[in-house]
Amino acid sequence: MSLIRKITKWFIYFAIFDYFFLLMLEMIGELRQKPPSTNDTNLRLSSNLIPEKDDKIEDKLEEMNMDVPKVSECKRQKLEFVHITKTGGVAITQLGSSLGIKWGICHWKKVNECKAPCDTVDIIITKNHDDLYNKTEIPVKYRTTTEPWHSPPHWFKDNPYKNADTFTVLRNPYDRVLSEYYSKFGGYVGPNKENATVLNQWVQKRLSVILRQAHFLPHYFYVFDKRDKQVIDHVLRYENLSEEFPALVNKYYEYDVNLNERFNQRVSGDSMAISDFSQETINMINTYYEKDFASFNYPMLH
């Protein structure tokens, strides 16, 4: 082997080593950096933490007719959960974490009640969520400061679940509104909670708000986009969740799961029922959730 060929060979080896060594240093530097500033309004997946290729090294390798190593895309889950409020989502998220599956809120923030992998975050968000949304896709006035894990994912500029199949859970609108009343997340917190007048006044006030938020947002906006195209792959029913959910999980993962009715537990002393809704409240619910009743065949009271 001639001296020139030996020099060329070692030069190629050195270039490859130099490329990967610099990549490793950049990755270490990223890990040591402090968390992103809360002024950053971009929605970013964890794959964005992978360092970009060095242009000089890339040019050097191309001159030598060598392929530039490709950075593989972040592996996505097979199935993602779109969490509509008061539909058993907390039980689903907790069960998923016990199986090592990240669902719902676990992508967005650390959850103390859940185990790994829910102890890490892979979607970075800020207090100002306004820039995350594609407002041309939102058919109603919507409070974009609401919890993003409860927002319809197709309303974002970059759908975080676009590379996976999705599922969600629907619930009878009357039952869901009653559950919102008792919810510890935005429910009624004043005196005389077990009073029908208090219940009806609270529900009517909440359904009169023009600016929508995730709590009370109709199911229709999650399942269909503004062009009435279905954007959720699997639509489950809260009323049949103990059967439908294990069957769905078994299609994607080799797990036999049981919710153990955790999703259907009410606190002792919560005595209000659908029969306590006044006719005025019933009429408001019928109007507010008109598309839910029509699209998902829930019976409407009159």
Closest CA to 47 of 69, 33, 27, 67: 27
End-to-end CA distance of the chain: give it in Å, rounded. Answer: 93
> What is the rounded distance in angstroms from the CA atom of residue 82 to the CA atom of residue 168?
5
* Cα torsion 162, 228, 129, 84: sign: negative
d(CA 217, CA 143): 11
Whole-prediction pTM:
0.73
Q: Which residues contact 218 (CB under 8 A, 6 or more apart)?
A: 173, 288, 289, 291, 292
What H or E segment, with its residue span, contains residue 24? helix 3-32
Residue 230 pairs in a beta bridge with 224
Mean pLDDT in consecutive groups of 10 residues from the start of the chain, 302 residues: 62 59 51 39 32 37 37 55 95 89 89 77 75 92 90 94 95 97 92 96 96 95 97 97 93 84 64 97 98 97 93
From the list 211, 235, 187, 218, the residue with the least C-alpha distance to 286 is 218
Q: Which pLDDT belongs to residue 59?
A: 43
3-state secondary structure of 98: helix
Which tokens go with 211? 């600016």
Nearest in space to 223 (alpha carbons), one of 272, 270, 170:
170
**What is the rounded distance in angstroms from the CA atom of residue 78 to the CA atom of residue 155?**
21
pLDDT at 44: 33
Number of residues that this document lists for the chain = 302
Sign of CA dihedral 131, 136, 142, 147: negative
Residues 6 or more apart from 140 whose CB is under 8 A from it?
212, 221
